[in-house]
Amino acid sequence: MRDHESALQKAVLAALKADAAVAALVGARVFDQAPQGTACPYLTLGRCESRPVAAEGGGVEQRLTLTGVSRFAGAEEAKAMAAAVRACLHETVLQADGVRTATLRANFADVFRAGDGRRTYAVVRLRALTEEVGEGR
């Protein structure tokens, strides 16, 4: 069985980095984990939950969290990041390392201020069902 979690992460990062609307907001600052001192705004991957699907053909159901970090005064930039992520990924077919998304949906978004009031976060949760493709399936 292939590594569905790493394949989905790789495909999501590539799609976000290649998307013009996302790049207009965050440039190339899309990370698995943001380096110390990264300038805002930026996007990071967060929690990934997965479980095998016991249907014919198998597959893996995954829930992946993306977080946008903004220092813009107000929620406008964070809301724009959430919208750009949703537009880029919702119902898109992604493929990497012999794994593709059978379904991919942005099913939750939340924009909120940090307790210190200096940052605003945009959290987008994705639900994906991934399946193996190609040789060695």
Cα within 13 Å of Cα(131), Cβ side: 11
For the chain, the domain total comes to: 1
- Omega within 30 of 0 (cis) for the link into 35: no
pLDDT at 56: 67
pLDDT of residue 134 exceeding 90:
no
CATH number of the domain where residue 34 is located: 3.30.2000.30
Q: Render pLDDT for 6-62 as a digit per residue (tens, 0 to 9).
A: 999 999 999 999 999 999 999 999 999 999 999 999 999 999 999 999 766 679 999
Q: Are 69 and 118 in contact (CB under 8 A)?
A: no
Hey, which bits of 1-137 come out as E strands? 30-31, 42-52, 60-70, 95-96, 99-113, 120-132
Instruction: Report how far residue 127's alpha carbon sits from residue 48's, in angstroms, rounded to the nearest whole number.
Output: 10
Looking at the chain, the whole-number percentage of residues with pLDDT higher than 90 is 87
pLDDT at 65: 98
- The answer as to whether 121 is a domain residue is yes
Identify the domain containing residue 17 by its residue range: 4-132
Confidence (pTM): 0.92
- What's the token pair of residue 35? 């380096």
pLDDT of residue 136 exceeding 60:
no
